[in-house]
Amino acid sequence: MRIIGFFGKGGTGKTTLTALVLRELVKRRMGEILVVDADPNECLASVLGVDRPSRLSDMLLKYKRQREQSPELTGIDIFQNLFDTLLVEGEHEGYDMLVMGRGEGTGCYCAVNSLLLSVFAKTIDDEHYDYLLMDCEAGVEHIARKTSAEINDAVIVTDASKVSLDTLERIKAVASEVSARIETYYVVANRCRPDMLSRVEETAERLGFRYLGALPDDPNLAEIAYEGKTVFDLPEDSPAVQAVEKFLDAYN
């Protein structure tokens, strides 16, 4: 299984790119795919047109209830049952989807993060999925600290702004600080003016990241958002769809 995480400053296009890559993998019938919205500011479900997504945070509440009600069962048995149910509920055409959701209480995602860890462990162990796509928060730390799983590909989405490119540097620094196990870093320049692309490419190269190319500004993305449509409704010749096709050709 390949684990692909999408990172970058808020608003740079992580969710959009995650959804576009999913669309392309589904179209190419690349096998079993699990997509996880790991950003507490959940948006992926609506971009994919998933009405009531399966939430790990809801699963946690059920887990706690069942632990109290059925003390004879081990935690791992309960977890296993709930997780299997969650994946069945999260089945969509061509892929499965889970949302991490917010942890209960103020600002603590620990319990949900531990569940995410179990998701990783389980999905890696049972080899059911060929791809795990994760729409993440800005940085790699919350994934790295909580999982021992290796992320094969960390795709960092950036614009040409200094503040967004500084995020690239920070991601690299933090990743080494928390000993994140990331095989390859990729950089995608989103909505950059062509004359500003070279700065993105240079920064990527300096940091030892692989520059994948540019995702152009695509008016159809605003159109589908306005119409309440999904990324699967984008026309095949849409600029962003075409760009992602090229990324995947280069990546494989």
Q: Which is nearer to ligand ADP, 96 or 218 (CB)?
A: 218
Q: Which does 238 bind (CB under 5 to 8 A by kind): ligand ADP, Mg ion, none?
A: none
161 bridge partner residues: none
Q: Which of 240, 241, 244, 247 binds ligand ADP (CB under 6 A)?
A: 240
**Beta strand 2-7 pairing with 151-158:** parallel
Binding mask 72-111 for ligand ADP (x = CB under 6 A): ----------------------------------------
Confirm or reject binding of residue 113 to ligand ADP (CB under 6 A): no
Euclidean distance between CA atoms 207 and 204, whole angstroms: 5
Instruction: Tell which one of 147, 190, 203, 238 touches ligand ADP (CB under 6 A).
Output: 190
Strand partners, 155: 6, 186
- Kindly state the smallest distance separating residue 14's Cβ from Mg ion, in Å: 5
47 and 222 Cβ atoms separated by less than 8 Å: no
Q: Give yes or no for residue 147 binding Mg ion (CB under 5 A).
A: no
Q: Binding partner of residue 10 among ligand ADP, Mg ion, none, CB under 5 to 8 Å per kind?
A: ligand ADP
Distance (Å, whole) CA 96 – CA 56: 13
What is the closest distance, in whole angstroms, from the C-beta atom of residue 120 to ligand ADP in the complex? 21
Q: Could you say whether residue 15 binds Mg ion (CB under 5 A)?
A: yes
Q: Which is nearer to ligand ADP, 108 or 222 (CB)?
A: 222
Q: How far apart are CA 130 and CA 203, in angstroms?
A: 31
Instruction: Pick the binder of ligand ADP from 43, 111, 197, 207 (CB under 6 A).
Output: 43
Secondary structure of 66-105 in HEC code, one letter for each residue: HHHHCCCCCHHHHHHHHHHHHHHHCEECCEEEEECCCCCC
Instruction: Report if residue 142 touches ligand ADP, rule: CB under 6 A.
Output: no
Nearer to ligand ADP, 42 or 89 (CB): 42
The yes or no reply on residue 43 touching Mg ion (CB under 5 A) is yes
Applying CB under 6 A, does 217 fall inside the site for ligand ADP? yes
Q: Is 158 in the site for ligand ADP (CB under 6 A)?
A: no
Phi first, then psi, for residue 3 (nearest 5°) are: -105, 120
Contacts 24+ apart (CB under 8 A), 240-244: 240/16, 240/20, 240/215, 240/216, 241/20, 241/23, 241/24, 243/213, 243/214, 243/215, 243/216, 244/17, 244/20, 244/21, 244/23, 244/24, 244/215
Q: Is there binding between residue 12 and ligand ADP (CB under 6 A)?
A: yes
Closer CB to Mg ion, 63 or 159, in the complex: 159
Q: Which residues bind ligand ADP (CB under 6 A)?
A: 8, 10-16, 43, 190-191, 215, 217-218, 221-222, 225, 240
